[in-house]
């Protein structure tokens, strides 16, 4: 189980998306991304020299510089992901949404988590959705494009499947369930539809697209369920940070607690595991 929990850690996009984010809490987040699990616990598992870090940190565009600076100072090459395109509602003009992507990339983000215009899905404007995501793709340049479908607002599973396909056809490197700000987050029925779309797309094109559930994923147990779902639906091939991410802010704290319990046989007191 400890091995699976560590695998989950390496797939986390450690996220903070708050109005009161500052350079100093971004710095703490980056430190936690580099040292996600206490050194002595990793030693006990014989994993201390395996470079266990989270997959990325994920922040708002205005905080990308802080994250890039903090990670550089810590001497590590964890990618910085930024949400963009009027996150979370996508209710800003296309021109500003595209500019937001370009500026985040300019500041050093190498992964961009975009949100789509939900109306295009709800009214069946698939070509327009494709065109919009193509433009996001272009604006990203070399940066990876993660497309958030906000499945809680898409109305039906059929729409989720179609939107997943369009997002992949338009060049997304990942499809992601939710922003974490909708009233419905990542659910398993939706996830299965998205995973089957990924599989169908792979069979048709040979291209492997990644999957990122996000929103409300807080417990170590949840992360294990997500990992086994990926294993079942897509196979071991997908169980790595290149093709699977979990978007989460507090999940890591629970995973570290469970690993502490695994190693020491007791539960950590609050102050044993300082977490941002
Ligand atoms: C989203 O798409 C709808 C339907 O085409 C359009 O009316 C609306 O202006 C778009 N929203 C944005 C923010 O561009
Ligand atoms: C969805 O996720 C967000 C962010 O983790 C959380 O604040 C919210 O309570 C969740 N909503 C539901 C319905 O689980």
Choosing from 13, 113, 173, 254, the catalytic residue is 113
For residue 123, the ligand 1 atom closest to its alpha carbon is 4
Residue 113 catalytic? yes
Residue-by-residue pLDDT tens, the chain, 276 positions? 899 999 999 999 999 999 999 999 999 999 999 999 999 999 999 999 999 999 999 999 999 999 999 999 999 999 999 999 999 999 999 999 999 999 999 999 999 999 999 999 999 999 999 999 999 999 999 999 999 999 999 999 999 999 999 999 999 999 999 999 999 999 999 999 999 999 999 999 999 999 999 999 999 999 999 999 999 999 999 999 999 999 999 999 999 999 999 999 998 887 788 664
Nearest ligand, CA 128: 1
Give pLDDT, residue 147. Answer: 98
Give pLDDT, residue 1. Answer: 84
Residue 181 catalytic? no
User: Please, are residues 32 and 14 in contact by the beta-carbon 8 Å criterion?
Assistant: yes
Place of tokens 């890591």: 252
**φ, ψ at 10 (rounded to 5°):** -70, -10
- The closest of 219, 197, 217, 216 to 208, measured between CA atoms, is 197
- The closest of 75, 56, 63, 61 to 15, measured between CA atoms, is 56
The span from the CA of 257 to the CA of 111, in Å, is 29
DSSP label at residue 237 = G
Nearest ligand, CA 118: 1
Ligand 2 in reach of 36 Cβ (< 6 A): no
Entry pTM:
0.96
Enter the tokens of residue 7: 């695998």
Distance from the alpha carbon of residue 93 to the mean position of ligand 2, in angstroms: 27
Helices 64-73 and 23-34: angle between axes, nearest 10 degrees: 50
Ligand 1 in reach of 120 Cβ (< 6 A): yes
Residue 127 catalytic? no
Give pLDDT, residue 275. Answer: 61
Give pLDDT, residue 276. Answer: 42
Distance from the alpha carbon of residue 19 to the mean position of ligand 1, in angstroms: 25
């Amino acid at each position: 189980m400890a091995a699976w929990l560590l695998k989950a850690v390496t797939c986390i996009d450690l996220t903070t998306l708050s109005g009161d984010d500052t350079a100093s809490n971004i710095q703490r987040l980056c430190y936690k991304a580099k040292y996600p699990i206490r050194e002595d616990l990793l030693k006990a598992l014989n994993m201390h020299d395996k470079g266990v870090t989270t997959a990325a940190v994920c922040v708002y565009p205005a905080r990308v510089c802080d994250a890039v600076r903090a990670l550089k100072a810590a001497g590590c090459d964890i990618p910085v992901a930024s949400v963009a395109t009027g996150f979370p509602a996508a209710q800003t003009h296309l021109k500003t949404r595209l500019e937001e992507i370009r500026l985040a990339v300019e500041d050093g983000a190498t992964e961009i988590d975009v949100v789509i215009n939900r109306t295009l899905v709800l009214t069946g404007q698939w070509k327009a959705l494709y065109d919009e995501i193509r433009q996001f793709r272009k604006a990203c340049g070399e940066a990876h494009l993660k497309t958030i479908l906000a499945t809680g607002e898409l109305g039906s599973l059929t729409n989720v499947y179609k939107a997943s396909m369009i997002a992949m056809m338009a060049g997304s490197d990942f499809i992601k369930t939710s922003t974490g700000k909708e009233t419905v987050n990542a659910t398993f029925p939706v996830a299965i539809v998205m995973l089957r779309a990924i599989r169908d797309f792979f069979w048709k094109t040979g291209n492997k697209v990644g999957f990122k559930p996000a929103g409300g994923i807080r417990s170590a147990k949840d992360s294990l369920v997500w990992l086994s779902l990926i294993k079942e639906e897509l196979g071991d091939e997908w169980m790595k940070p290149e093709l699977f991410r979990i978007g989460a802010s507090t999940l890591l704290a629970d995973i570290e607690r469970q690993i502490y319990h695994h190693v020491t046989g007791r539960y950590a007191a609050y102050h044993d595991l300082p977490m941002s």
